[in-house]
């Protein structure tokens, strides 16, 4: 039986594991938000970066990609890899994945997705909402072992546009980061 993994952040452009198929589509009832702190990839414990997580949102959809992993050995390697990579996300959900906005039946059921919940008892890295300019400043200043936090934001913006998705939250945030960088004389990386 194949395993399916939904990527809505860096998994869109960097899977990091073997897969048989990569399908563009969406999940229903969630929106992508820069509310998850990153102290291991795009920030440090002293200066956390911000990465995306999912927030329940009636009537909304979150576009991304689903990876099909068929071989048992590839599934085991992918799960081991993802458990380390996504360790700051405290929940796994199995959701319906759609490829056609008009469809009432999912293309795939039971697609695995990692979520950083807002429950601070179980997710100490959840940062939550903040004004756009504050999130932008935090992203500009944060850098971790995987590189500057702004690179994550700009890669995500680009990857979403490549799959035909204009995500208002991501685009507004990327534009605010560019505005601040231009105003302060810095450049985007």
- Candidate list 55, 86, 157, 176, residue with the active-site label: 86
Q: What six digits make up the tokens of 106?
A: 């999912």
Structure-block tokens of residue 132: 């756009």
Measured in degrees and rounded to the nearest 5, phi and psi for residue 69 equal: -120, 115
pLDDT band at residue 187 using 50, 70 and 90 as cut-offs: low
For helices 149-162 and 168-184, angle between their N-to-C axes, nearest 10 degrees = 130
- Rounded mean pLDDT of 19-24? 98
Q: Is CATH 3.10.490.10 the right assignment for the domain spanning 3-184?
A: yes
| Predicted TM-score (pTM) of this structure | 0.94
For residue 43, the Cα-to-chain-centroid distance in whole angstroms is: 15
Take residue 189 and report the two structure tokens written for it: 């990386």
Average pLDDT, the chain: 96
Domain boundaries, given as residue ranges, for the chain: 3-184
Q: Is the pLDDT of residue 92 over 90?
A: yes
86 an active-site residue? yes
């Amino acid at each position: 039986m194949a395993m399916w993994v939904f990527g809505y952040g860096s998994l869109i452009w960097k899977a990091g594991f073997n897969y048989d198929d990569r399908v563009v589509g969406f999940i229903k009832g969630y929106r992508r938000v820069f509310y998850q702190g990153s102290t291991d990839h795009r920030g440090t414990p002293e200066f956390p970066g911000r990465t995306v997580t999912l927030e329940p949102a009636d009537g909304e959809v979150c576009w991304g990609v689903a990876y099909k992993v068929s071989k048992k050995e590839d599934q085991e390697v992918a799960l081991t890899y993802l458990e380390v990579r996504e360790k700051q996300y405290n929940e796994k959900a199995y959701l319906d994945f759609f490829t056609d906005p008009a469809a009432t039946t999912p293309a795939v059921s039971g697609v695995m997705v990692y979520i950083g919940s807002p429950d601070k008892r179980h997710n100490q890295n959840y940062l939550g909402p903040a004004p756009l300019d504050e999130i932008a400043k935090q992203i500009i200043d944060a850098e971790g072992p995987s590189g500057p936090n702004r690179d994550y934001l700009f890669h995500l913006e680009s990857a979403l546009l490549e799959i035909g998705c204009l995500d208002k939250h991501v685009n507004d945030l990327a534009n605010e980061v560019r505005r601040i960088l231009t105003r302060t004389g810095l450049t985007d990386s």
